Structure 1
């Protein structure tokens, strides 16, 4: 079992930026692989007038794309920078990148753990 720290890097950004994010990840020396999801959510804003009333069928969700990368700690900064380069437009709603430590990563097919699993 490899004991190096493993992390999940999750970027949530504008869907039209996906191709640029993927290009940036593919340009990394050690391409880590990723998972992509279509997601919906809300940012910090509260809408017109600064008030927000929770009525499920009236909530204005924004469509976003989420990409998830599992990588060794030594690769985390490069993965974050790749997502930022690909996703950034400089406008409100560009998104967010979240980095979190993982307790354990196991490749199903081989049973490899840690860095060997990704």
Structure 2
């Protein structure tokens, strides 16, 4: 099994979510994250005033999948999340050693 962690732009999340649904990814976790990278922060406008922000707001998706499906999931996220500009995000693929579904006690790939 693999755990895929993908950090994507807020503006591209809907496209990434829809693309994952098309290939059968039924579940993933999502969290708001902040980072600092090549963009060096952003400018935010609030009630007409411009503020410099030292961080960049992004979303992190955590997806568990089979070894065979991992490459397809990565490709889909890359295609749907890419704008071609600095700050499109990162994808990390990790080995998931053990997974247990709490409700049923299923383990391994069946738990995903």
TM-score, length of structure 2 as denominator length? 0.83
Task: Report Cα offsets for 1:64-106 as digits up to 9, x if no partner.
Answer: 0111100110110011011111110000000010000011111
CA contact (8 A) 1:32 1:71 kept: no
Query: 4+ runs of 1 displaced by more than 3 Å?
Result: 44-47
Task: Report Cα offsets for 1:40-82 as digits up to 9, x if no partner.
Answer: 01124668xxxxxxxxxx9711000111100110110011011
Cα distance, 1:31 vs structure 2: 2.2
CA contact (8 A) 2:8 2:81 kept: yes
What's the C-alpha RMSD, in Å, of the aligned pairs?
1.8
- Trace 1:32-71 onto structure 2 (pairs within 5 A): 32-44=26-38, 60-71=54-65
How many residue pairs get matched? 102
TM-score, length of structure 1 as denominator length? 0.79
Structure 2 unaligned spans of 5+? 42-51
Structure 1 unaligned spans of 5+? 1-5, 48-57
